[in-house]
Amino acid sequence: MSSYRPKTTLRESLEAYAYLLPAFTVLFIFWFIPVLVSLGMSFGDMTALKPLSQMNFVGIRQYQEVLGHATFQQSLWNTINYTIYSVPTTLVLALAAAVLLNNRIAGRGFFRTAFFLPYVTTWVSISLVFSYLFHREYGLGNWLLGIVSQDILGMSNPWKLEWLAEPRGIFEMMFLKDKASLPKLPLGVENLLGGPSLSLFCVILTSVWRDIGYFMIIFLAGLQNIDKSLYEAAAIDGASPWHRFRHITFPLLSPVTFFLMVISLIGAFKVFVPMFMMTPDGGPDRTTVPITMFLYQEGFTGEWKLSFAAAVAYVLTMIILALTLLQNRVFGRRVEYGQ
């Protein structure tokens, strides 16, 4: 049985392309051309004092310098630390909030709005507010620590933390008194075992607080798309709420979860504004410098090493691409798209 396919006239095709032309022109000028130019720059030696016409081709030397740069390696581990702690925490809390607010509870609409409002607030405003919350002398963090240590524990000297100026890792602060007694560890191992610095941990808390609402809304959309008869049948069979969540909710939310995992990981590796606003110049011992801030500092401050910054951008692109493909390989096959 042959299917009928209406014929498209030349005039209709031209009209369709005419409607697409403005958007294509904007993308071509402001996306495609800059991508090609920056790719060519990454193989040269362009700086602010050397225009594009005088740039010399240096091959992969810029990429070798990027990968061997000590600050780039530190910024990579800072970004990995940020991703490890911010992405899973945000996803878990957002899913818990979505499951709770998917039920018929009093004030459900208010709480949904309250959770989502931080996401539509600008990063600059949020960063400034949390900078004051973590202020050593006047911030809410040390005020609460003072109440706990002085009024509850009876300590004569209340705790005060240098929230945004502490370079030590949070695990190092909690469990390790004398770091000098340990053998020298590679940079990556030391960063992962010591945990994110306290200043980076403050940025992580800020990021989680902001992003929960957005992820919650997407989880809610997925939850409301699940057929309620599945829960009714499971309840009749005697399944507990935990078993209903484990065997119905979570598997059928796998497409939404996978989507949020991918976009949150990409967003985590591109993070810039909260570090830039809350910890100027990369924070204590540059422990809050992500790759994007390293790119900015190398390309648009100091010597304006534009070719070097372009190489950093493409290294970051390759890292994100590799991690996205890895996620698709590991988790993509476990996604269930049908009910």
Cβ within 8 Å of residue 130, ≥6 positions away = 202, 205, 206, 278
Average pLDDT value over all residues in the chain: 87
What does the pLDDT look like over 142-162, one tens digit per residue?
Answer: 888 888 777 677 776 677 888
Neighbours of 145 (CB within 10 A): 16
Amino acid letter for position 8: T
Q: What is d(CA 195, CA 146) in angstroms, rounded to the nearest whole number?
A: 24
**CA-based nearest residue to 82, from 325, 274, 217:** 274
Report yes or no: 275 and 282 within 8 Å, Cβ to Cβ: yes
Q: What is d(CA 105, CA 71) in angstroms, rounded to the nearest whole number?
A: 50
Q: What is d(CA 55, CA 326) in angstroms, rounded to the nearest whole number?
A: 36
What does the pLDDT look like over 107-117, one tens digit per residue?
Answer: 888 999 999 99
Q: To the nearest 10°, report the CA torsion of 82, 83, 85, 87.
A: 140
Q: 6 burial class (0-12, 13-18, 19+ CB within 10 angstroms)? A: exposed
Binning pLDDT at 50, 70 and 90, where does residue 171 land? confident
pLDDT recorded at residue 92: 95
What does the pLDDT look like over 220-246, one tens digit per residue?
Answer: 999 998 888 888 888 888 888 888 888
Q: How does DSSP classify residue 56?
A: P
**CA-based nearest residue to 145, from 198, 107, 100, 222:** 198
pLDDT recorded at residue 186: 67
pLDDT recorded at residue 7: 61
Topology at the third CATH level for domain 53-334:
MetI-like fold (1.10.3720)
The model's pTM is 0.87
Place of tokens 């004030």: 107
Binning pLDDT at 50, 70 and 90, where does residue 78 land? very high
What does the pLDDT look like over 34-75, one tens digit per residue?
Answer: 999 889 888 988 887 777 777 888 889 999 999 999 999 999
Binning pLDDT at 50, 70 and 90, where does residue 104 land? confident
